[in-house]
Chain A
Amino acid sequence: MTDLFANLGANLGLGLSVAASPQTVLWCLVGCLLGTLIGVLPGIGPVATIAMLLPVTFYLDPVSAIIMLAGIYYGAQYGGSTTAILMRLPGESSSVVTCLDGNAMARRGRAGAALAVAALSSFLAGTVATLLIALFSPSLTALAQSFGPAEYFSLMLLGMTGAVVLAHGSVPKAVAMVLLGLLLGLVGTDVESGMQRFTFGIPELADGIDFVPLAMGLFGLAEIIVNLERGVAKVDDVAAIGRLRPTREEMRAAVPAALRGTAVGSLLGLLPGGGAVLSAFAAYTLEKRLSPTPERFGTGAVEGVAAPEAANNAGAQTSFVPLLTLGIPETPVMALMVGAMMIHGIQPGPQVMTAQPALFWGLIASMWIGNLMLLVINLPLVGLWVRLLRVPYHLLFPAILLFCAIGVYSVHNSAFDVLLTALFGLVGYGLAKLKCEPAPLMLAFVLGPLMEENLRRALQLAHGDAGVFVRQPISLGLLLVTLALLLGAVLPAVRRVRAVAFAETDT
C-alpha cells in the first residue's frame, strides 16, 4: 500500500512537472477560455465545442494538444452550467439538473452564489476524481495488458450497449444509430485485404471518413441549424449575478452535498456510455432523499446545485479512465479525444502509460490544473461571459460557422472535408428531426474499425468458433454485464425509472 502511494507521488510529480510547465499551463488556459467561450453560447454543448475547436489543437505538440483539449472540455462544461444558472438554458444535458435550483437561486438574487457553488463543487470533485484516477489507473492498465482480442471485442460491445442505454429517447433507435456509426466507420480501405469499401470511387474516402467533418457536421452545424430554426432565448432573461461569495449557511449545506455528489459521479462516470447525465440526476435525487426539507428543492436549494455539479464533473474526469487504460472511449467526448490522439500519432491504450508516461501523467495532472484554472480565472470572468450572451445570435453564428469551415479545411488542407461537413450537417439535422440521438453514432464510428479487427482476430485464433467469447472469463464477465444492461433497459420497471429520469431532466 505504501508502495502504491510512493508510486502515486512519483507519477503525479512527473505529471505536474509536465503540466505545470509554462507552455502547457498556457495551452490549458487557452483551452479553458476557448471552451468556456464556445460552451457558454446557448445550445452548444461540450461535444460540439470540442468538435469545433479540435483543428486549433493540431498545431501543437501531442502533449499540449491533448491537455488543451481537456481544458476545452472542462471549460465547455463550466460554460454550460453558467447558462443553466443564469438563463435556465442548459448548454449540455448534464447541466439540466443544475437549471432547477441554480436558476431558482438566480431568480432569488443569489446567482453569484450559485455560480460560485457550482465552480467550487466542480473543483472539489475534480480534485478527488483526479486522485482516484491516478491511484487506480496503473492497476487497470496492468489488467488491460492481459486483454486479448476477444476481451476487447466484448468490452467494445459493452461500451456501445452503455451508450444505447444511456442515450435519450428510444432504445431501438439508439441501437440503429450505433449500427449506422459502425457502417460509417468501415468506409475506406480494409486493413487486412487492402480492398476499398463503400468509397463509391471517391479517392478522398480511401482513408475512411475523417472524424472531424463528421463530428463538426453532426454536432456543430446541426445544432446551429436547430437553434436558428427554434429561435434563441431573449437576452433579457439573463439574471443579474450579484455577490459571488456564498453565505456561511449555504457553504454548510453545499460541502457535504458536493462530497456525496463526487462519490456518485466518480462511480457512475466509469460506466460505459458515460454517466454524466445520469450521475447529475442521481446525485440530485440522492440529495432530495437525504434532505430533511425536500420541499425546498426546485426553489433554490444550494444542495441542488452543489451535488449535481460535483457529480457531473467527477463523472467527466473518471470517464477518462476507460480511454486511458483500455484505449476504449466510452462517451462521445472521449471518442473525439481518441480521434485527436490518433491524428497526433498516439494510439490510445494500455501502452500509453508505459510508452509515454509524460503524456499520461501530464494529462492527469492537467485535469487538476484545468479545474483550478476554471476556478481562478473563470469565476472572476463570469461577467464577461454574460456579456457575450448579450451578443445577438445573428452576429455570433456566422463567425462560428466561418471558424468551423476554416477549421475543418485546415486539418488536411482539404476542401473536400468542408463539403463532407455540410453533408453531415444535413444528416445531423435530419437525425434531430427523426428524434435520433447522434452521440451513439459518433462513438460507434470511432469503435467500428477496432471492433472489426478484434472480432476478426478473436475468431481467427479460435478457428471460427464463436464460443471463444464465453470461454474466456473476462470476456464472459463483460458480456454478462452487457446483457444485464440491455435487459435492464428493456425491463418495464427500469424503463419507467429511465423515462422519469429523462423526463425530469428535460423540463
Chain B
Amino acid sequence: MSVHTESAPETGRRATGPAVDLWAAGLFVATGTAWLGLAGGYAIGNAGRMGPGFFPALVAGLLLAVGAAIGGTALARGSERFEPFRLRPLAAVLGSVLVFGLAVDRLGLLLTAVLLVVIAGQSLPGGGLRQTLLLAAGLAAACWLLFIVLLGVPLEALPR
C-alpha cells in the first residue's frame, strides 16, 4: 500500500506511551472471544456435517490464539509505541461521511454535498470559510450534473 506506517526510530520517545502490539493483541483477543461466543450460539455440528457455527468458531478460536501470542511476545520482548494521534482530521473526515449517510435521503444531494465539504474542510486548521463554501457549492453542482443528470443515480437533488 502506499501509506508506509514504518517510521524512523524516534530516539527518546519510544519508551513512553502504550505499546502498539499490546493494543493490537487486545483487539484480536476481544474480537476472537466475541465471535467465538456468537458462533457458540449457532449449531456447530461435526466435521462431516458442519453447522453454521463450525467454521466461524474455528476461525475465531484461531484469532484468539494468535492475538494471545502477539500479546505474549509484546510483553516478553516489548513493542514499538504509537505514533501521535491527531483527532481533528479523523473527526472531520469520518464526521463528514457519517453526516452524508444520515442526511442524504432527507436533504437531497445538493445540501448534503455542501455539508460534507464544509465538515471535511474542518480537518485542516485555517481554511477560510468563504473558500470552503465556494468549493462546496462548485462540487455540489458538479456532482449533481455528473451523478444525477448524466449517470442517472436515483438521488433527489433537493430536500423532500
Contact residues of A with B, CB < 8 Å? 43-45, 47-48, 59, 80, 90-93, 168-170, 172-173, 175-176, 179-180, 182-183, 186, 190, 192-193, 195, 197-198, 219, 221-229, 394-395, 397-399, 401-406, 409-410, 413, 415-419, 421-422, 425-426, 429-430, 432-439, 451-452, 455-456, 459-460, 462-466, 506
Inter-chain contact count A-B, CB under 8 Å?
Answer: 227
The residue on A at minimum CB distance from B142 is: A399
Contact residues of B with A, CB < 8 Å? 1-6, 20-21, 23-24, 27-28, 31-32, 35, 38-39, 42-43, 46-52, 54-56, 59-60, 62-63, 66-67, 69-70, 73, 80, 82-83, 85-86, 89-90, 93-94, 96-98, 100-102, 104-105, 109, 113, 116-117, 120-121, 123-124, 127, 135-136, 139, 143, 147, 151-155
**B101: chain A residues within 8 A (beta carbon):** 405, 409, 415-419, 421-422
Given A193-B51, A197-B42, A415-B101 in contact, is the A183-B60 Cβ separation under 8 Å? Answer: yes
CA A179 – CA B35 in complex, angstroms?
11
Given A92-B1, A179-B59, A421-B97 in contact, is the A394-B28 Cβ separation under 8 Å? Answer: no
Question: Nearest Cβ distance between residue A470 and chain B, in whole angstroms?
Answer: 15
Is the beta-carbon distance between B56 and A409 smaller than 8 angstroms? no
Is the beta-carbon distance between B23 and A90 smaller than 8 angstroms? no
Besides A404-B97, A409-B101, 12 other A-B contacts (C-beta < 8 A): A80-B2, A172-B66, A173-B24, A180-B31, A197-B38, A198-B56, A225-B93, A229-B85, A405-B116, A415-B104, A426-B94, A439-B1
**A404: chain B residues within 8 A (beta carbon):** 97
Is the beta-carbon distance between B143 and A433 smaller than 8 angstroms? no
**A395: chain B residues within 8 A (beta carbon):** 135
Is the beta-carbon distance between A422 and B143 smaller than 8 angstroms? no
**B155: chain A residues within 8 A (beta carbon):** 406, 409-410, 413
Give 30 CB contacts A-B under 8 Å.
Answer: A43-B2, A45-B2, A45-B3, A59-B151, A59-B152, A92-B2, A176-B63, A192-B50, A192-B52, A223-B2, A225-B94, A226-B5, A398-B96, A398-B116, A398-B117, A398-B120, A398-B136, A405-B101, A405-B104, A409-B153, A415-B101, A418-B100, A422-B98, A433-B83, A435-B24, A438-B1, A455-B55, A462-B48, A464-B49, A465-B48
Is the beta-carbon distance between B67 and A176 smaller than 8 angstroms? yes
**B28: chain A residues within 8 A (beta carbon):** 176, 179-180
Given A43-B3, A415-B102, A432-B3 in contact, is the A225-B121 Cβ separation under 8 Å? Answer: no
CA A487 – CA B107 in complex, angstroms?
56
**B23: chain A residues within 8 A (beta carbon):** 434
**B98: chain A residues within 8 A (beta carbon):** 419, 422
Is the beta-carbon distance between A418 and B97 smaller than 8 angstroms? yes
Centre residue among A176, A404, A435 by max chain B CB count within 10 A = A176
CA A223 – CA B1 in complex, angstroms?
9
**A219: chain B residues within 8 A (beta carbon):** 1
Is the beta-carbon distance between B100 and A176 smaller than 8 angstroms? no
The residue on B at minimum CB distance from A174 is: B66
Centre residue among B62, B93, B153 by max chain A CB count within 10 A = B93
The residue on A at minimum CB distance from B152 is: A59
The residue on A at minimum CB distance from B124 is: A394
Is the beta-carbon distance between B47 and A223 smaller than 8 angstroms? no
**A451: chain B residues within 8 A (beta carbon):** 55
Contacting A406 at CB < 8 Å: which of B59, B73, B143?
B143
Is the beta-carbon distance between A405 and B97 smaller than 8 angstroms? yes
Question: Nearest Cβ distance between residue B106 and chain A, in whole angstroms?
Answer: 9
Is the beta-carbon distance between B35 and A183 smaller than 8 angstroms? yes
Centre residue among B2, B4, B50, B96 by max chain A CB count within 10 A = B2
Given A227-B3, A229-B90 in contact, is the A413-B154 Cβ separation under 8 Å? Answer: yes
CA A190 – CA B50 in complex, angstroms?
11
CA A347 – CA B70 in complex, angstroms?
37
